[in-house]
Structures are given as C-alpha cells and as structure tokens.
Amino acid sequence: AQSVTQPDIHITVSEGASLELRCNYSYGATPYLFWYVQSPGQGLQLLLKYFSGDTLVQGIKGFEAEFKRSQSSFNLRKPSVHWSDAAEYFCAVGVNTGNQFYFGTGTSLTVIP
C-alpha cells in the first residue's frame, strides 16, 4: 500500500540557517512526488513537484528537493530560511490512476530570529 512518512513532526531553525525536511514514501511504481506548504488557516500551496527526469527539482520561494529512488526519499531543502517560511510542510505521493494523493503527516517549521 502507498504511504508517506515525514519523520520530523516539528523542526526549529534560526533565520538564515539551512533547512532540510525529510520525506520517505512507499509505492510500487514510479511515484509522482509533491511538496506543499500550508500556513495557518489556509489551504495547501504547491512548492514543487517531481514526475520524471532530473532528480533535483527547483520550486518556488527558493526551495528545492531531490528524488532518490534507492532511498525512496524526496527531501525538501532550502539554503537560507526566512521568517516567512514558518508553516506546515506536507509531502505527497500521487498514484498512476487518477488524482488520489497520499500525504505525510506534515512537518511544522518554526523559524527563530
């Protein structure tokens, strides 16, 4: 069965520090992978996606993610975090049939000045 694991429930980083949010997935075929961000009281905003090709993908707001098939991972990174990046981050896997997404439980990011 498909599943997504985000092992870090909460992460705190200092503004200007680098960030890496972990995501591992379980899916039998080639996955469609996504990272979304959610601010309090808001919906989900797409940060970036991986469908195929180059395993390092660039997204909005300076985020990037690397797909590693051997590790079944799709970790999100940002070289320098801004206070406005504080939010909840969700990793998701899309399956081949339709648009059913499987989401991780999310990582809450706190940015301290």
Stretch that binds another protein, among 9-17, 54-62, 69-77, 95-103 (CB under 8 A): 95-103
Only one of the segments 7-15, 17-25, 78-86, 91-99 lies at the binding site for another protein (rule: CB under 8 A); that segment is 91-99
Long-range contacts of 57-64 (CB under 8 A, 24+ apart): 59/35, 61/85, 63/35
Residue from 36, 7, 8 nearest 102 by CA: 36
Nearest distance, CB of residue 73 and another protein, angstroms:
19
Binding another protein (rule: CB under 8 A), the pick from 14, 18, 30, 45 is 45
Q: Calculate ∠ Cα 31-48-4, nearest 5°.
A: 40
Distance between CA atoms of residues 15 and 112, nearest Å: 6
72 binds another protein (CB under 8 A): no
Work out whether 60 is an interface residue with another protein (CB under 8 A): no
Closest CA relative to residue 33, chosen from 12, 54, 19: 54
Least separation in angstroms between residue 75's CB and another protein is 19
Residues that bind another protein (CB under 8 A): 32, 34, 36, 41-46, 49, 51, 90, 92, 94, 97-106
